[in-house]
Structure 1
Amino acid sequence: MPPSLFACGSNGSGQLALGHEDDVASLARCAFDPSCPASTEIVDLVSAASHALLLVSTASGTHLLGAGKNTHGQLGKQCALSCPTAATAFRPLALAREAGLGDGWSPARVAATWTTSFVVYERGEAGSADREQAIVSAGSNDFGELGVAGTPDGPVVLDVLRAGEYVEHLKGGQRGPQRSQRVVGWGACRRGELNPVPAPATASRGAKGKGKAPARAPVSLPVTVALPIPAGAHITDLALGAAHSLALLSNGRVLAWGSDLKGQVAGLDAVNDVTAIAATWNGSYGSNTHGQLLRRDSDPRGRVALEQPTTLTAGSEHILVTAGGKLWSGGWNEHGNLGVGDTADRAGLVEVPVPGAIRRVWGGLAATWVWSEE
């Protein structure tokens, strides 16, 4: 039996796997193709502009499923042949085989940017000497988000991991992912998203005599991101916006770098005791013992108090919070992604009707996903 997975929001490419390509403003049950393996457990999920990736576990192992359009090859060659228009129900994907990894590899983590997919595959038992991992990317490479040069013909294996390294976090922003403990990033970096150290304060003269800051490289292949992590601390989570990045440290502090045009970075280094972070395209959010830290133009560090907050999740421009067994949402709602039955934006958090008991919540690009126990 497939898991009880529900979704709402933008669905113009069938990426919500609802059996059609229309937006929905209330949570609706996702569909699974008969070719999917029988499963009841979800490992992880991610959704982007026109596709979604879903990891499910079965008695035989972990499997990768996908839904939506495959315009840029983000669902792989097999999906392009079996479903040339849009997959409006989840179906199995074969990115490892198409990338040339061979047999024995199982998907372990997923991430996505606008029209690009990233999957961590592994083989061998955890803790064993023969354990291996590989990162596979597939889809658009307009901003270098595949992590390779040129335009490959299908999914590729990234040359990112060093010997003995294993992926702890894999996050996708809008133009490229990052991971840690050695944080590696690639893709667009016009606003310093891959370089937390400010550029030197030098200037050059333009044609009209005006000073101009040194130009940053617009895109990057995989590079190590140098973070000022204090002694005794380590990264516990990463969150990416459209042009800024956040890292949560084990000591409850937050590192933030990249664009600050919306006030999404300045002042975060002064916040203490943070237990969770999230980022929308233009905002930064955190949870601590006093409630949710919401960044607003009028109030750079506004707080919303919630009883027993348990999770904090960000979509592209909306926020999801579970508290007391209930789901709350707020922010941008053009596609009905808040799940409250309409398309009106919400300046505060409102309760979302959820069928059954909540097991896990995900935010996507103008989309909300809920795995429930009915």
Structure 2
Amino acid sequence: MLLSAGSNAHGQLANGSLDDSHFFPPCCFSGCAPGTLPAGRTLLHLEFGANHTLALLKFSENGTTELWGCGDGTAGQLSPSYDLADDSDGTVFRPLDLTLERHGLEGHLPRLVAASWETTYVVLSRQAMPDVLVSMGGDDFGDLGIGAKLAGKSPAKNIIHTVRFDHLEQNGVAVDEDSLLVESLAAGQHHAVVRLTTAGCLTGLLDMGS
């Protein structure tokens, strides 16, 4: 059973309300009884932003994964699909559609996830393919990792952004993005850190944001 407590101004506790909670009531997933996970799924990981929560679930039958979210998605941190009719719709976990087909990422599945203040990071994996890191949401301090803040641009809120690593070099040679493996991913308030490995044996940490 998944339980939550604390601040809940945007429904990030997924307990069906917008009220702060001083005890641990059960979380709610859309279409499920309170305290129960969607049928045939297990919980792999949880991540928490300022006012949004992410849940990475796995299908027990075939091992595929899906991303669910709740809370505030106004900065785009809960995917382009997160269009709520009213605030109460954000008070339960809902499946997030990352619109991967629009980015040529059909068949990729979320494997790692992290959240900062108003930004979400997802590592997408597919068998025999390099990993892809995407980001979505706020970019106040360059959080998205796409260089928009440095270039003085305002990135679109309602799309996912592919984070590139072709600016990295090893012994003067550009990193081979075709063999990229993201080993771990973590985020703080306005920054994220990624641990990368490539077929060229590059292993390193890359940070973005402030």
Which category describes the TM-score, using the shorter chain as reference length? 0.7 to 0.9
Kindly indicate whether the alpha-carbon contact (under 8 Å) linking 1:106 and 1:122 is maintained by their aligned counterparts in 2: yes
Query: RMSD over aligned Cα, in angstroms?
Result: 2.0
Q: In the alignment, which residue of structure 2 is the partner of 1:169?
A: 184
- 1:20: which partner in 2? 17
Q: Secondary structure at the match of 1:167?
A: strand
How far did 1:10 drift? 1.2
| Aligned twin of 1:358 | none
The percentage of aligned residue pairs carrying the same residue is 34
TM (norm. structure 2) is: 0.78
User: More strand per residue: 1 or 2?
Assistant: 1
Q: Secondary structure at the match of 2:100?
A: helix
What's the CA shift string for 1:200-229, capped at 9, x where partnerless?
xxxxxxxxxxxxxxxxxxxxxxxxxxxxxx
CA contact (8 A) 2:80 2:99 kept: no
Matched, 1:48 2:40: no
* 1:54-69 → structure 2 map (5 Å cutoff): 54-58=55-59, 59-60=61-62, 61-69=64-72
Instruction: Describe the shift of the 1:83–1:146 C-alpha distance in structure 2 as closer, same or farther (beyond 3 A).
Output: farther
Distance in 1, matches of 2:50 and 2:66, equals 22
The AA in structure 2 aligned to 1:105 is: H
Aligned-partner Cα distance in 2 for 1:142–1:12: 21
**Counterpart in the other structure of 1:365:** none
2:129 aligned partner, one-letter code: R
Q: Given the superposition, is the C-alpha separation of residues 97 and 185 from structure 1 closer, same or farther in structure 2, using an over 3 Å criterion?
A: same
Residue equivalent to 2:165: 160
The aligned counterpart of 1:145 is 143
Instruction: Deviation per CA, 1:258-317: give whole Å up to 9, x if none.
Output: xxxxxxxxxxxxxxxxxxxxxxxxxxxxxxxxxxxxxxxxxxxxxxxxxxxxxxxxxxxx
Amino acid of the residue matched to residue 139 of structure 2? N
Q: Structure 2 CA distance, aligned partners of 1:11 and 1:5?
A: 16
Gap change, CA 1:159 and 1:14, over 3 Å in 2:
same
Name which one, 1 or 2, has greater alpha-carbon Rg.
1
Amino acid at match of 1:62: T
Any residues of structure 2 matched to 1:106-117 within 5 Å, and which? 106-117=109-120
Counterpart pick for 1:32 among 18, 22, 29: 29
Q: Which runs of 5+ in 2 are unaligned?
A: 167-176, 196-202
AA aligned to 2:13 is L
- Mapped to 1, the partners of 2:82 and 2:101 lie a distance apart of 11
- Tell me which amino acid in the other structure corresponds to 2:130: E
Distance 1:89 1:29 in 2: 11
| 2:206 corresponds to | 184
- 2:54, 2:69 within 8 Å by CA — same for their partners in 1? yes
The 1-side partners of 2:71 and 2:9 are apart by 9
Shift of the alpha carbon at 1:155? 1.2
1:90-239 counterparts in 2 under 5 A?
90-97=93-100, 100-124=103-127, 130-148=128-146, 149=148, 150-153=153-156, 154-160=159-165, 162-180=177-195, 181-188=203-210
Runs (4 or more) in structure 1 with deviation over 6 Å come to none
Question: Structure 1 stretches of 5 or more lacking a match?
Answer: 125-129, 189-374
Amino acid at match of 2:178: A
Between the aligned partners of 2:101 and 2:187, the Cα distance in structure 1 is 21
Q: Measure the CA separation in 2 of the matches of 1:44 and 1:92.
A: 14
Structure 1 length normalisation: TM-score? 0.45
